[in-house]
Chains A and B, each alone.
Chain A
Amino acid sequence: MRRTVLILSILIIGLMPFLSACDSGETQELIYWAKLWAIVHDITDADGNPNYGTVTRFAIGEAFGLGTTGDEEGDAAIDAARTLNNIRQAEDEADQGWEALNGGKHIQEGVLPHFNKAIDMRPDDWSYRNGRGIANLEDMDNPDGAKAAREDFDKANEIAKRSGKPEEYLRMLKNREQALARLVAIKNDDHAVPAKEVYEEQSSTYNELYKLTGDKIYLLLKQQADTNLAQGYYWTRGTDN
């Protein structure tokens, strides 16, 4: 049975007088499609008269969880819309985390709490682990920052590999590479330098990307990161330069 949700059925019936009375231009096309939808799903007839039998049937099906689109992904799409708030809030937290990190806010007070919240909300999203990992790399107040970062990156790797899709792992590496490059660029613009481990992570990420894609641009970028390391343009944990 196709799911045609009870409340929307009632909605269409309830709104039909308003829809029929509305002649304004901008919403006319939307109204046309809404009416058509109601008709093809047998909620109303072509004149807008409600079919109460259909509505009752949908009501019982929906109330007892029997309503389905007939397609698992269709059900999930409707359901995802309902649970989308979780994703949106997590994305907002991560965005605030990136903004705080790139804006030079205090890592433990201004950056990590945002990424922690995002991870709590969506623990299987590797992008938040990448974000927190990079924040941990930059946290010079934490002597164990590099270790914490490694744990985050390892977890991100594990999540991406768990999907069983090679392109998912590649997407995760590219996300990390781009975030690291953005951080380095912002530091350079501010005439500052990143932590040593940022360059080290860049180097290993570019190396992995080169191995996976064969794209020589990653080889060149790895050499650049290695050069930065060799020239000592970085902060070292536990020192002032």
Chain B
Amino acid sequence: MTKDTEVKTKPPKKKGFPFGKIILLIFVLFILVAVLQYFRIPQKIGLIKSPADNLFTMTPDSEKALIIMDNLRAAGLNTRGVEVYVLPVAGTDHNLAMIVLDASKGFSFSGYYGTDPVKDFLTVISQAQGEGINRAAVTYYDEEGRQLVAATVPTDAIVAYSQGKLTDNQLMEKVDVGTDDLWAFIGVIKDQLK
């Protein structure tokens, strides 16, 4: 080929993805990460250790759990379908009192004899602080054994509340809630309220 030769060539093809496709890909990845995170897939397949897996490795304290169960009975709660686990926090002197209300094992709010279940529960938990419990959590299972909702609050907030140092509003600011099965939960609540 000489320099005089005219070479007719087609314009070179653009390499790589067009900008629009890149944006679309990022968007899809964004959604994918959100879905994986929402359903806690990395934790479920063992890629990431959950906070609970890191902190609650120790043997539950059955003696402290018995004391709390006795206090719940004394407060008027029908303890059928109720379980208490006291979970020591690894590397600290802290303990979490986890109270399970399991409708599939017979728990029912209608078996409650007090006037305000939340306040009575708070009283029991404030007593538990003397047992080294620094945080309480309640979780509810429906009649099919599905875990619907969990709520947690530090015991020092409960004690402050019982001493009149916190208002209802201030106490609720300290309460955190989580649930895994929203639709099942809504269904149960609807049934309860019919």
Contacts and interface: CB of A to CB of B under 8 A. Distances in A.
A125 B91 CA distance: 15
Interface stretch (A144-152, A163-171, A197-205, A214-222): A163-171
B179 A80 contact: no
A21 interface: yes
Given A26-B110, A78-B152, A7 B135 contact: no
Contacts of B85: 84, 87
Contacts, number: 172
Given A29-B115, A78-B152, A82-B147, A8 B50 contact: no
A37 B149 contact: no
Contacts of A22: 193
Contacts of A88: 83, 100
A23 B53 CA distance: 41
A200 B189 CA distance: 56
A168 B61 CA distance: 9
Interface in B44-61: 50-61
A5 B52 contact: no
A7 B88 contact: no
A63 interface: yes
Residue from B50, B52, B60 with most neighbouring chain A CB atoms (10 Å): B52
A185 to B, nearest CB: 19
Given A27-B193, A124-B57, A76 B100 contact: no
Contacts of A26: 109-110, 112
Contact of B135 (A11, A65, A77): A77
Contact of A4 (B62, B115, B177): B177
A37 B177 contact: yes
Contacts of A124: 57-59
Q: State the majority secondary structure of interface residues on A.
A: helix
B181 to A, nearest CB: 9
Nearest to A14: B186
Contacts of B93: 165
A231 interface: no
Nearest to B139: A81
A69 B34 CA distance: 19
A19 B55 CA distance: 36
Contact of A11 (B90, B100, B179): B179
Contacts of B128: none
B67 interface: no
A215 to B, nearest CB: 16
Nearest to B173: A40
Contacts of B59: 124-127, 159-160, 168, 171-172, 175
A239 to B, nearest CB: 36
Residue from A21, A125, A172 with most neighbouring chain B CB atoms (10 Å): A125
A82 B177 contact: no
A62 B38 contact: yes
A75 interface: yes
A73 B89 contact: yes
Given A18-B193, A26-B109, A73 B135 contact: yes
11 contacts: A29-B119, A64-B33, A64-B34, A73-B94, A80-B87, A82-B147, A84-B139, A88-B100, A91-B60, A126-B59, A163-B58
Given A5-B178, A8-B178, A15-B186, 4 more contacts: A19-B193, A29-B119, A80-B87, A88-B83
